[in-house]
Amino acid sequence: MDTLLSILTTTGIIIGVILLFNLMIFIHELGHFWAARWRGLHVDRFQIWFGKPWWKKEVNGVQWGIGWIPAGGFVSLPQLAPMESIEGKADLPEGLKPVKPLDKLIVAAAGPVFSFLLAVVFAVAVWIIGKPVAESVGTTIGYVQAGSPAEKAGLKPGDTILEIDGAPVTKWVGNMEGVTELVMMGERDTVDFLVQRPGVEKPLLIKSGYELPDKKWYERKAMRMVGIVKADPCVIGSVLPDSPAAKAGLKPGDKVKAVNGAPIMSVAAVREASKSGVPLEWTIERDGKEMSVQVTPVLPSNWKKGARDAQPIAGTLWASSFDRTQLEHPTPWQQVGVSLKWMGDTFQKIAAPKSDVGVEQLSGPVGIGSHLYRMFSSPDGWMMVLWFAVILNVNLAVLNILPLPVVDGGHVVLSLLEMIFKRPVGGVVLEYVQTGFVFVLMAFFLFVTFKDFGDLFGGGSKPSEELPPPVFRSADA
């Protein structure tokens, strides 16, 4: 029964992702379609996805269809510009009148406008319903990885980060302004931290190096890391049966204050101490009182020794602050503004010569679909999907209005040139340019899709190699 429920849940999520993608495509193309009908242009086809249609039906002189390449859609408008390299040859009726450049401009811009309006619709829904946000406020370091660039630079648990590379920070993650994002997207040779250290009157400027974890050639290049983890109260959420923690008498709600006398400010520090598998003295707080218990971490009975990430653990599940969420209600314009800022920051980092952010960090339909799948799979994930849909549609609107061949912005530019010079751009030259750019777009699409699959299946993270949920036997602890 559980297996059947899991299959149905997974199937439902996949269908939800596909429907959301196609809704975005449909609304965008519907803008072109309605504008074309309003301005009197001949509409040959309306198709979701590219390639030869596997389903088609003619209604009122328009062929409606679904292609076999899941990478967008189109409304075939032969009077707008030659697009046979993408849309195929159109069946043109005789006696088509020339189209005014203003009509072309309106039709070309209608798709991005409709995408933007759909983003606003989703944004209004988020404004009313709310967006779950993890409690990531606070910039105090809770753990510094041994041997990491941060440790070598002198960063310590308890340091509160005030600025990174001159930019003030008030949260650990979020809106491209948190500690995590500013480290990842840095452009300097070092990551410059301004920190307030307990017992030290003036803030300290600490220049840290960074590292780029190794990746397989088919995966995306890793982003900058320095080896720090946010300070977080180590509160036990649950205790696994027959685990060392259960044998030690630990209970949900217990707060770990120290291990072997060393203050603990992050779950990562507890996990690191547990790796050795030797007896540990935990100082915990329960009902306002401190007490000490001895815990000897062991390898769960269903984990194979030597497997990736398999190490002794105490058998506690933690009530991390990142698991505790609150609902925010950002206005539609705040959401659109954040989406535009993210796009601008991303393009700026891609163009920056010293940034480690490159074109390969961009995602195609597979990567975006995978991200949506993870959102749908989480508690209240549908609310996060609504918020993410705002970002996706703003991106779709902006990218399509860029003044590039093939996309809508290119048609807008052609219409403006026709208005200025009183004649359309030469058809043969234009078709060569359009066809060339089609190959560029397809190459980019294949590249990011290849990286998407590399992230899904690469790096030794195949499902068959993942550790199962830990199970303990009475003899283990």
pLDDT score at 405: 85
Contact 294, 280 (CB under 8 A): yes
Beta strand 62-66 with 45-50 is parallel
Mean pLDDT computed over 417-445 = 84
Q: What does the chain come to in residues?
A: 477
pLDDT, one tens digit per residue, over 90-136 is 555 666 677 889 999 999 999 999 999 999 999 999 999 999 887 66
Kindly list the domain boundaries of the chain, sorted by start residue: 141-230, 233-319+426-477
Nearest CA among 264, 266, 241, 262 for reference residue 252:
241
Phi/psi class of residue 214: alpha, beta or left (left: φ > 0; alpha: ψ in -120 to 50)? beta
Q: What is the pLDDT at residue 166?
A: 95
* Residues whose CB falls within 8 Å of the CB of residue 327, separated by 6 or more in sequence, listed in order: 130, 131, 132, 133
pTM of the model: 0.82
Contact 110, 35 (CB under 8 A): yes
Is there a common fold for 141-230 and 233-319+426-477? yes
Which two structure tokens, joined as six digits, stand for 184?
Answer: 């990842």
As its CATH architecture, domain 233-319+426-477 has Roll (2.30)
If phi > 0 it is left, if psi is from -120 to 50 it is alpha, else beta; for residue 253 that is left
Least confident of 279-288, 296-305, 311-320, 321-330: 321-330
Query: Could you tell me which residue, 369 or 113, shows the higher pLDDT?
Result: 113
User: What is the dotted CATH code of the domain comprising 141-230?
Assistant: 2.30.42.10
Mind listing the pLDDT tens digit for each residue in 11-36? 888 888 889 999 999 999 999 999 99
* DSSP string over 271-296: HHHHTT-S-EEEEEEETTEEEEEEE-
For residue 408, give Cα distances in angstroms to 29, 292, 396, 402, 404: 11, 67, 11, 7, 8
Statement: residue 293 has pLDDT above 90? yes
